[in-house]
Amino acid sequence: MADDYGAVVALDVEHHRGVVDQRLFGSFVEHMGRGVYTGIFEPTHPTADELGFRGDVAGLVRELGVTLARYPGGNFVSGYDWTDGIGPREQRPRRLDLAWRSIETNEVGTDEFMSWARSLGIEPMLAVNLGTAGVREAAALIEYCNIAEGTEWSDRRRRNGAVKPYEVGLWCLGNEMDGPWQTGHMSAERYAAVAAEAAKAMRLVDPGIQLVACGSSSHEMPTFGYWESTVLEHAGEYVDYISMHAYYEEFDGDRDSFLASAVSMDSFIDGVIATIDAVAARRRTKRRIDISFDEWNVWYLSRYPGSHNLPIDVAGPRIEDVYSTVDAVVVGDLLSSLLNHADRVKIACLAQLVNVIAPIMTEPGGPAWRQPTFYPFAAVTANARGHSLVTRVVAPELGTRRYGDVPVVAAAATHDARTGDTAVFLTNRAARHTGVELRHANFEGWTVRSAEYIAADGRGPRDRLPAADVWFTPLATDTSADGRTTQIMLPPHSWTVLSVSTGGAA
Ligand code: AHR
C-alpha cells in the first residue's frame, strides 16, 4: 500500500479485456434543440462552409476525437419521415416534431448529415423510425443510402448529388421503444416482432449492414431485463447489438453517490451482458451479440419539465446543461467503465455532441467553446489505443447513499502492443488525497510521459475558450528504480490520465 489511505492498481501487459473498438468514442447528433441548427449547422455563421456547417464547431469535433455519430435521433426519429429531408431545400416541409414540440425545417437531412460526417472522417450510425413508420420506410432508407443505382431511391440519391452510395454500415432499429414517452411506444413482444421484420427487410437490401436493437432506456425502467430477454429471444437472430442508454446526475447534493455513477454503469452493463448470454444459452445459439451504449452522459434530467409541458417552439427545448469540473470527473469515470467492458461494449455515444447536453457549445453567430466534460473525453480518445487491460484494484471503500460501499479508486488502462503506448485512467472518488501504487512489473521500459488530472473543484466553462491546461493540472509520479511500480498521490475528487511509453513490438 502507498499509505494507510492508499490503493493498489495492478496491471499485467498480457492480461487483456478486449480490443478497444474505436467506435467506443462515438457521439450523437439529434434534431433536438440547438443540436443541429446553430449547433453543427449555421449557414450565416462567419466560419460556415459551402454546405452551411460551422467550421469552428468542426474543429472542436476533430479535437474531441469523435469517431462515430448517431443520427437523427433519439426520440426525434420516432416521428421523422426521412423523405422530408431530401431533395431541393425550398421544397422541404416544415413539420411539427412531436418528440420535442418543435418545428423541423428539414434544412438538414440525410444527405447533409452524410456530407458533414464524411468531411470529418466520422462513421455514421443512422436510426430508422419504428415508431410512426416501419419496415417499408426503413428498407427504402437503406436503398437510398446503400444501393449504387438503378432503383427509385438510389436514383433519387444520385439526382440529389450523391453519385456514390454512402455505404452506411451501422443502423439502429428505432429508439427507446420501451419508453412510454416514445411516439409509437410498444410492448417488448411487439417491438421484437417489428424489429425482426425490419431487420430482415433491411438486410435484404444490404446484407452487409450491422443492426442495433433497442434495449432499455435506463437501468430504472420497470421492464429492464424482461425487455432485453424478450427482444433477444425473438429478434436476436437478426441483430448484432443491443442498445443501452443511461444518464447520471447529482441528486440532493449527494456528491458521493454522483461521483460513484460509474458503479451503476458497471452493474447496468453486467446485467445486460448476463441477459444476452442467458438468452443465447437457452436458445443454444452461437450468434454474438454485443452492446451499443448509444446514449450516455451526465444530464440534469430532473430539471427537464417533460415534453408535454413545453410550448410549441420553432427551436425546441433548450436543454443546454452547463457542466462543471464535477461532471467532468464523472464523465472520465464513466469512460473508464466503458473501457473496462471493451470485450462486450463495442459502440458508445456520448449524448449529445453540440449544445444539447453536450461537450461543445455555440452562440448563434458567435463563438464555440468547450465544456469541462470535453476534456476527459478528448483525453481518452487521444490516448486509449490497442487493448483494454484488466486492472485489479484494491482500494478502501466509501459509503454512498445510492450505491452502498464503493471503492474510492477506479482504474482503466489500455496498451498498444505495436507502439508500446500505454494509458492509465484513475478516478479518486474520495474527498481527500488517495495514494495509489501502480504495479506494472511485466511492462518493459515503463516511462511516464505525462500525468495530469482534472479536479472536481466546481469550476464551469466561465472562460469560454480555455486552454487545455486551465483544466488539467500536471501530477507528480514516482517510478521505482527497478521500473516495477509507480507511486501517485491522487488529489481529492479527481480524474487522472497517465500517458506511458513502454517497449513496443520488436
Ligand atoms: O439525448 C436526449 C434524449 O434522451 C434522446 O432523444 C432520447 O433517446 C433519450 O431519452
Per-residue pLDDT of the chain (506 residues; tens, 9 = 90+): 444 469 999 999 999 999 999 999 999 999 999 999 999 999 999 999 999 999 999 999 999 999 999 999 999 999 999 999 999 999 999 999 999 999 999 999 999 999 999 999 999 999 999 999 999 999 999 999 999 999 999 999 999 999 999 999 999 999 999 999 999 999 999 999 999 999 999 999 999 999 999 999 999 999 999 999 999 999 999 999 999 999 999 999 999 999 999 999 999 999 999 999 999 999 999 999 999 999 999 999 988 878 888 888 888 888 999 999 999 999 999 999 999 999 999 999 999 999 999 999 999 999 999 999 999 999 999 999 999 999 999 999 999 999 999 999 999 999 999 999 999 999 999 999 999 999 999 999 999 999 999 999 888 775 555 565 578 999 999 999 999 999 999 999 999 999 999 987 65
> How confident is the model at residue 461, as a pLDDT?
74
For the entire predicted model, the pTM comes to 0.96
Residue whose CA is at the smallest distance from ligand 1 atom 8: 74
Atom of ligand 1 nearest to the CA of 217: 10
**Ligand 1 in contact with 362 (CB < 6 A)?**
no
State how far the Cα of 105 lies from the Cα of 276, in Å rounded to an integer.
Answer: 40
State how far the Cα of 133 lies from the Cα of 381, in Å rounded to an integer.
Answer: 36
295 is catalytic: yes
Q: What is the DSSP letter of 448?
A: E
Asked if residue 293 lies in contact with residue 243, where contact means CB atoms within 8 angstroms, the answer is yes
> How confident is the model at residue 233, as a pLDDT?
97
H or E element, residue 497: strand 494-501
> How confident is the model at residue 465, as a pLDDT?
55
Cβ-count burial 156-165 (b if 16+ within 10 Å, e if not): bbeeeebeeb
* All three cell numbers of 50: 459551402
189 is catalytic: no
**Ligand 1 in contact with 352 (CB < 6 A)?**
yes
**Ligand 1 in contact with 74 (CB < 6 A)?**
yes
* All three cell numbers of 156: 433519387
How far apart are the CA of 74 and the centre of ligand 1, in A? Answer: 5
Task: State the catalytic residue, choosing from 104, 123, 176, 437.
Answer: 176
**Ligand 1 in contact with 317 (CB < 6 A)?**
no
487 φψ region: left (φ > 0), alpha (ψ -120 to 50), beta (else): beta
CA of 71: how far to CAs of 40, 60, 179, 446, in Å? 13, 19, 19, 41
DSSP codes joined into one string, 273-338:
HHHHHHHHHHHT-----EEEEEEEEE--GGG---GGGSPPBTT-----PPP-HHHHHHHHHHHHHH
State how far the Cα of 451 lies from the Cα of 21, in Å rounded to an integer.
Answer: 24
> How confident is the model at residue 3, as a pLDDT?
46
State how far the Cα of 59 lies from the Cα of 368, in Å rounded to an integer.
Answer: 10
Residue whose CA is at the smallest distance from ligand 1 atom 4: 74
State how far the Cα of 354 lies from the Cα of 87, in Å rounded to an integer.
Answer: 26
